[in-house]
């Protein structure tokens, strides 16, 4: 029996799920709201772990091709003090392929290959419980029914409400992303600073990370603790050390002085689309750090504002026949190198479970969910604790966290 199965979202989770089902000769409909694969920038680079993302690619029959594309040298990691002193410098051993890097765009193309994706099919609502299957509503007004709908549509999933009322909440940390292009030619000093992998600098409640992608491209991430609306009303957040109730969580400080540094004048809201205003604000936030470190911001191009949101660490739901979730739709957590790996492994495991039990689709999904919840809950707790240590009042906590990871 061939069940009608749809996966919503053509990200790592949805594409891995579809590829593994395809390998088992089971048809699957992939629905993606973007109009084309290259409709949006694909994002930065991912380190795929041997027992997670790489295992998923092996189940999809793609591991050898991944090894050709990936960059083992990208596992290198350097940590600097705010004055530029090198505190740690980890480099992969020859033959080390525990966590090689691959650009998100390359991974997407690897997974897509011969899959038939329906682009431009935005889903607005999923309604389970019908006699003839789960009803999917599309933005263009059309409707389709499936025996199983898999929500792999990310943080703001349109499928999640069919099984859970949970919505992501702000984690208290914001990232601002910028980029450097042709770094080896245009910014050779920064290329040497970054090395083959990543360089990170941690201060009080803030950090700056630069990560090499392929083709001389570098992503730079400024991260800091701040209220979610600090850009809309910066006046309100000046002098935070004198105010104690600026956000629901009670976490007010970017540092002991409490200056957000994101609005030099303190008179008007910060225009997130104004690259020079964003650059000036970030340079003020990291004022006093070593000049070569600040050059990562001075030389950046566009700036993208990314407040971090997460789901509750213990997020589960009462099983709903015909609907389930994968990846960020199920367990959105801080971006500490686990999310995409988990999502891909879950996609592969769910596909294998369905292929192994073609006569009892619902029982296969139910058993998968129990396994997913237990593992994802452990990782959600670890990544939440990790974010607290990486963006901490005590920068030594960030270094200690990396020491623990490297030793393991």
Strands 218-225, 169-180: pairing kind: antiparallel
Residue 84 lies in a domain: no
Q: Is 284 in the same domain as 224? A: yes
Q: Is 191 in the same domain as 274? A: yes
- Report the C-alpha gap between 160 and 151 in whole angstroms: 7
The tally of domains found in the chain comes to: 2
Residue 403 lies in a domain: no
CATH code: domain of residue 52:
3.50.50.60
Which residues are documented as binding site?
40, 47, 104, 328
User: Long-range CB contacts (< 8 A, 24+ apart) of 114-117?
Assistant: 114/22, 115/15, 115/18, 115/19, 115/22, 115/30, 116/30, 117/10, 117/30, 117/31, 117/32, 117/37
Q: Is 160 in the same domain as 43? A: yes
Domain end, chosen from 309, 324, 341, is at: 309
Q: Is 201 in the same domain as 187? A: yes
Q: Is 56 in the same domain as 130? A: yes
What range does the domain containing 237 cover? 170-309
- Report the C-alpha gap between 203 and 261 in whole angstroms: 14
Residue 95 lies in a domain: no
Residue 131 lies in a domain: yes
Q: Is 281 in the same domain as 341? A: no
Residue 402 lies in a domain: no
Which residues are documented as binding site for FAD?
47, 104, 328
Residue 107 lies in a domain: yes
Q: Contact 121/143 with Cβ under 8 angstroms?
A: no
Q: Is 41 in the same domain as 112? A: yes
Q: Which of 168, 288, 276 has the alpha carbon at shortest distance from 228?
A: 168
Q: Is 196 in the same domain as 265? A: yes
Residue 91 lies in a domain: no
Which pLDDT tens digits describe the chain residue by residue (408 residues)? 589 999 999 999 999 999 999 999 999 999 999 999 999 988 899 999 999 999 999 999 999 999 999 999 999 999 999 999 999 999 999 999 999 999 999 999 999 988 999 999 999 999 998 889 999 999 999 999 999 999 999 999 999 999 999 999 999 999 999 999 999 999 999 999 999 999 999 999 999 999 999 999 999 999 999 998 876 655 444 333 322 222 333 333 333 333 333 443 334 577 888 999 999 999 999 999 999 999 999 999 999 999 999 999 999 999 999 999 999 999 999 999 999 999 999 999 999 999 998 789 999 999 999 999 999 999 999 999 999 999 999 999 999 999 998 876
Q: Which two tokens stand for residue 164?
A: 């859970």
Domain end, chosen from 248, 283, 309, is at: 309
Q: Contact 276/292 with Cβ under 8 angstroms?
A: no
Q: Is 14 in the same domain as 126? A: yes
Q: Is 353 in the same domain as 366? A: yes
- φ and ψ of 226, to 5 deg: -165, 155
Q: Is 21 in the same domain as 106? A: yes
Residue 213 lies in a domain: yes
Which residues are documented as binding site for NADPH?
40
Q: Is 140 in the same domain as 25? A: yes
Domain end, chosen from 242, 274, 309, is at: 309
- φ and ψ of 131, to 5 deg: -65, -30
Exposed/middle/buried for residue 130 (C-beta within 10 Å: 0-12, 13-18, 19+): exposed
- Report the C-alpha gap between 399 and 201 in whole angstroms: 9
Q: What is the pTM of this model?
A: 0.90
């Amino acid at each position: 029996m061939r069940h009608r199965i749809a996966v919503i979202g053509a990200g790592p989770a949805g594409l891995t799920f579809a590829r593994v089902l395809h390998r088992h000769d089971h048809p699957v409909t992939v629905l993606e709201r973007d109009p084309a694969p290259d409709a949006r920038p694909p994002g930065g680079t991912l380190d795929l772990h041997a027992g997670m993302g790489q295992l998923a690619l092996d189940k999809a029959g793609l591991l050898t091709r991944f090894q050709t594309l990936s960059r083992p040298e990208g596992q290198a990691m350097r940590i600097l003090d705010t004055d530029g002193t090198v505190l740690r410098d980890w480099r992969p051993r020859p033959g080390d392929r525990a966590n090689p890097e691959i650009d998100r765009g390359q991974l997407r193309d690897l997974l897509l290959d011969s899959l038939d994706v329906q682009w431009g099919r935005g889903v607005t609502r999923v309604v389970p419980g019908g006699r003839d299957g789960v009803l999917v509503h599309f933005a263009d007004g059309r409707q389709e029914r499936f025996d199983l709908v898999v929500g792999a549509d990310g943080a703001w999933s349109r499928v999640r409400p069919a099984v859970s009322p949970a919505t992501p909440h702000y984690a208290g940390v914001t990232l601002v992303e910028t980029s450097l292009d042709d770094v080896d030619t245009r910014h050779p000093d920064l290329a040497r600073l970054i090395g083959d992998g990543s360089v990170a600098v941690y201060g009080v409640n803030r950090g700056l990370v630069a990560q090499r992608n392929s083709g001389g491209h570098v992503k730079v991430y400024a991260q800091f603790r701040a209220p979610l609306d600090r850009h809309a009303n910066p006046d309100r957040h000046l002098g935070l050390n004198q105010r104690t109730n600026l956000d629901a969580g009670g976490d007010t400080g970017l540092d002991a002085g409490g200056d957000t540094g994101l609005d030099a004048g303190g008179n008007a809201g910060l225009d997130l689309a104004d690259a020079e205003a964003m650059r000036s604000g970030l340079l003020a936030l990291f004022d006093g750090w070593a000049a070569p470190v600040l050059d990562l911001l001075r030389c950046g191009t566009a700036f993208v504002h990314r407040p971090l949101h997460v789901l509750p660490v213990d997020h589960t739901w009462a099983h709903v026949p015909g609907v389930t979730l994968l990846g960020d739709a199920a367990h959105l957590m801080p971006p500490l190198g686990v999310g995409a790996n988990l999502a891909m492994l879950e996609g592969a495991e769910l596909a294998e479970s369905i292929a192994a039990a073609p006569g009892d689709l619902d029982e296969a999904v139910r058993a998968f969910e129990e396994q997913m919840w237990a593992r994802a809950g452990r990782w959600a707790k670890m990544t939440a604790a990790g974010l607290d240590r990486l963006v901490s009042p005590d920068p030594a906590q960030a270094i200690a966290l990396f020491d623990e990871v490297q030793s393991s």
